[in-house]
A and B are shown apart, each in its own frame.
Chain A
Amino acid sequence: MQDIEKKMKAAAKKLFDDGKVDVIVGFRKGSLHNSSRPYFARSAADTENLVWDGFCTANLATFLPKLFEKPARPKEGYRPPRVGIVAKGCDSRSVSGLVKENQVPRPALVVIGMPCEGVRNVSKKSKGKKEEIARACLECVSPAVSGADISIAGEGRKPAKAGYARVKAFEAKPAQERWAIFTKEISKCIRCNACREACPNCYCKVCFADQRKPSWLSPANALSETMLFHLGRMFHQAGRCVECDACVNACPMGIDLRLFTQKLASDALELFGSVPGVTDDRVPALNTFKQDDSECFITDPEEK
């Protein structure tokens, strides 16, 4: 791991020395025991602080839309910043999605692809142990970084088989039980919005939850409002979610959002053959169609 870290830091430093980037988004040592945290290196000297270890859990792609946001009145000769990103497999899947959705200009981004062995479980779920490899990594079907500009050599995880076993197990439960589990998990929510802010796909300037006149919902954590928030937010990931678990890790209450987001990922694969960031889709799955898309869910009143 330390060898990989050295190579990454050297590559990062070289990017600054060659004048190829304005900022590199990576990780540095955290302030808590066994932790690393997001870091913006803005000079060759800063790259000394970069680390690479099993606690580099955050999805760094979440910082990209803001970094590339055009100012309201761009000055003469404005060009987007050149940004480097120390990317795991999940980060690169998110990057691919953001490029498709025109949030990140690919030519202005330098992807440093890391050989990811999986990161530790940092979610606040009551049953999680920090020493274990995170569930998202155990189930990751594409740990390798696709489309890296610089590939750091090393042994990464082998891809897991896509199975969505947990989704299938949940589906087998009776409807009342599923609703009870959903209610129980969502009841923990304090409406802090950490899940939304940690998600790279949530880059709307004004989130539907914050819209007023008219509003979809209030900021109160009444169960009905909270359910609407999560249903809306998660469904906005349909066909886009890369199952990175950034939302799960950010949630201070340890809500098992993965149990629900994985259903969306599973459906995207089953219904449309799409794995966001992996399958070579030009646009997200819900922005397009095929003539023979499934109609089995359509109600036909004249069907005997």
Chain B
Amino acid sequence: MAKTTETREPTIVAFLCNWCSYAGADLAGVSRLQYPANVRVIRVPCSGRVDPLYIIKALQEGADGVLVSGCHPGDCHYISGNLVARRKFAMLKSFLEYLGIEPERVQFSWVSASEGGRFAALIEKVVNDVKKLTTARKIIKKEKATASVR
């Protein structure tokens, strides 16, 4: 009875850190690697810049999935931004999953500037994971704000 295939293309919002993951995505493009077109990239200076509110807001505005990708631990351009982020993301992912939001919807990864192939594979994986979920996006802003009576 559960829908297992998305009937429309999901949208993934990806927060990519400028120095590693965004460059990795660039490399994937320059290398003509194919990956699903469902991703919308937002470039941030560092994965540590990503406020948990960005992720929740993206889900609310209609993203089917959110991806945050930064430099590998030890390689952060700002030394420790990704290390602090790692703790934040661990707790956020755990919290959202606890409330019932599918863990596949919010994913975190490390992609370096030289890993074009890894980036393409990452997008492929995330899009496939989200496609397997039901279409009901949990925190979805209704198109019209209905006049709530109570």
Contacts and interface: CB of A to CB of B under 8 A. Distances in A.
Query: Are A and B genuine complex partners?
Result: yes
Interface residues of B, number: 45
Nearest to A221: B148
A260 B100 CA distance: 12
A299 B91 contact: no
Contacts of A170: 98
B93 interface: yes
Chain A interface main SS type: helix
Given A175-B100, A228-B57, A289-B84, A235 B146 contact: no
Interface stretch (A40-48, A71-79, A264-272): A264-272
**Interface size class for chain A?**
35 or more
A285 B86 CA distance: 12
B125 A299 contact: yes
Nearest to A187: B150
B94 interface: yes
B122 interface: yes
Given A224-B140, A224-B141, A232 B56 contact: yes
A170 B94 CA distance: 13
B56 A298 contact: no
B86 A289 contact: yes
Contacts of B108: 297-299
Contacts of B92: 235, 238
B139 A293 contact: no
Contact of B83 (A177, A216, A239, A293): A293
Contacts of B109: 298-301
A182 B98 CA distance: 10
B84 A232 contact: no
Nearest to A288: B84
Contact of A182 (B80, B88, B99): B99
A231 B56 contact: yes
Which among B83, B94, B107 has the greatest number of chain A C-beta atoms within 10 A? B94
Interface of A: 167, 170-171, 175-180, 182, 208, 216, 218, 220-222, 224, 227-228, 231-232, 234-235, 238-239, 260, 263-264, 267-268, 271-272, 285-289, 291, 293-295, 297-302
6 closest Cβ pairs, A-B complex: A179-B100, A289-B83, A178-B100, A301-B121, A301-B122, A299-B107
20 contacts: A176-B100, A179-B101, A179-B138, A180-B100, A221-B148, A222-B142, A227-B139, A231-B139, A232-B53, A260-B98, A263-B95, A264-B95, A286-B84, A286-B88, A295-B73, A297-B108, A298-B86, A298-B108, A298-B110, A302-B121
